């Protein structure tokens, strides 16, 4: 993640709470507290979770005046038990209270993604299959979500529409077939990898013949996945096979055991269960 992107994301989030006001001046409730009042607080997780969001938290309090010291008890990617402390804050009480929800919103969302990823990965740990995310992310949080996937132990699919080809049904129809679509992609950007989404074994054959580097098996049954793996192994232009569709906690292991290389899951970044967090003042700082 680029520091500038994190800073811009945090600024937008703070603007939502403060109506664009500078610092804590937009937080009318915090202004009830004396300006120089010092405090100490701890943030804990109420859930078991994989933590993610350190850089966003640091940036929140930086933008609010850099008058709060953060002592970290975890780092991104750490698995934490429920009721464990994540970090301690000490400094100006107003800034702590103004930044609390913004910081916790980033943490609960990104940690939710990382935790979801780990849950899926644990189920397929006995296989060689890798877990991928998708572009089904919250608008404006694409790269942050992709980073959270990495913290959870997963792998990133393409970042956007610019860094790899994913030729789907409508692309195939508009281009006049799989062969033509792949040829055009290789002509326009030979440095980028090409993936083709297929719905039948016949389309898989066409994608392999065309030289696709990865083939997405869309909504294949397990028996079709086994056939696809066999076909791919015997083809002179072997591709990586990716499974997509109907993937959940009940089906993912069976899919992975077919021998496919990747499984992509949109739910990792769109069906987010936010982690339950709590910030509590613990005493007055000297």
Active site residue 54: no
Active site residue 101: yes
Residue count (the chain): 286
Active site residue 218: yes
Where would I find the beta strands (DSSP E) of 110-219? 130-132, 165-167, 194-198, 214-218
Q: 154 CB contacts (<8 Å, ≥6 apart)? A: 117, 120, 121, 130, 131, 132, 133, 268
CB neighbours (10 Å) of residue 191? 5
- Nearest Cα residue to 274 out of 142, 94, 131, 101: 101
Check 11, 62, 168, 270 and give the catalytic one.
168
Check 197, 203, 242, 261 and give the catalytic one.
197
Q: How far is CA 17 from the centre of its chain?
A: 24
Q: 182 CB contacts (<8 Å, ≥6 apart)? A: 167, 194, 196, 207, 210, 211, 212
Check 218, 227, 240, 276 and give the catalytic one.
218
Active site residue 284: no
- Nearest Cα residue to 51 out of 122, 104, 9: 104
Active site residue 5: no
Helix, strand or coil, per DSSP, at residue 53: coil
CB neighbours (10 Å) of residue 150? 17
For the chain, the first-to-last Cα distance in angstroms comes to: 36
Buried b / exposed e along 66-95 (16+ C-beta atoms within 10 A): ebbebeeebebbbebeeebebbebbbbbbb
Return d(Cα 264, Cα 167) in angstroms, integer. Answer: 16
Check 11, 62, 135, 136 and give the catalytic one.
136
Backbone angles phi, psi at 242, to 5 degrees: -125, 135
List residues with catalytic annotation. Answer: 101, 136, 168, 197, 218
């Amino acid at each position: 993640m680029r520091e500038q992107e994190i800073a811009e994301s945090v600024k937008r989030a703070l603007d939502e709470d403060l109506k664009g006001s500078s610092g804590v001046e937009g937080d009318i409730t915090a202004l009830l507290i004396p300006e120089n009042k010092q405090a100490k607080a701890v943030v804990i997780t109420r859930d078991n979770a994989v933590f993610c969001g350190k850089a966003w938290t640091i940036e929140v309090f930086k933008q609010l005046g850099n008058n709060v010291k953060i002592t970290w008890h975890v780092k991104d990617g750490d698995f934490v038990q429920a009721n464990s402390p994540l970090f301690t804050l000490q400094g100006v009480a107003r800034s702590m209270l103004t930044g609390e929800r913004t910081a916790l919103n980033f943490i609960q969302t990104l940690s939710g993604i990382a935790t979801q990823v780990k849950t899926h990965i644990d189920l397929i740990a006995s296989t060689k299959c890798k877990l991928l995310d998708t572009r089904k992310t919250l608008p404006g949080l694409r790269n942050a979500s992709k980073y959270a996937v990495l913290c959870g132990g997963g792998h990133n699919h393409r970042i956007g529409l610019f860094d790899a080809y994913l030729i789907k049904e409508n692309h195939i129809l508009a281009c006049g077939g799989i062969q033509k679509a792949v040829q055009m992609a290789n002509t326009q950007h030979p440095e980028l990898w090409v993936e083709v989404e297929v719905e039948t074994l016949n389309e898989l054959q066409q994608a392999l013949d065309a030289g696709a580097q990865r083939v997405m098996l869309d909504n294949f049954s397990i028996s079709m996945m086994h056939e696809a793996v066999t076909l791919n192994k015997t083809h002179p232009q072997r591709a990586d096979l990716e499974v997509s569709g109907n993937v959940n906690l009940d089906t993912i292991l069976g899919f992975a055991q077919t021998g496919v290389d990747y499984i992509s899951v949109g739910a990792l970044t769109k069906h987010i269960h936010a982690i339950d967090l709590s910030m509590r003042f613990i005493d007055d700082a000297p």
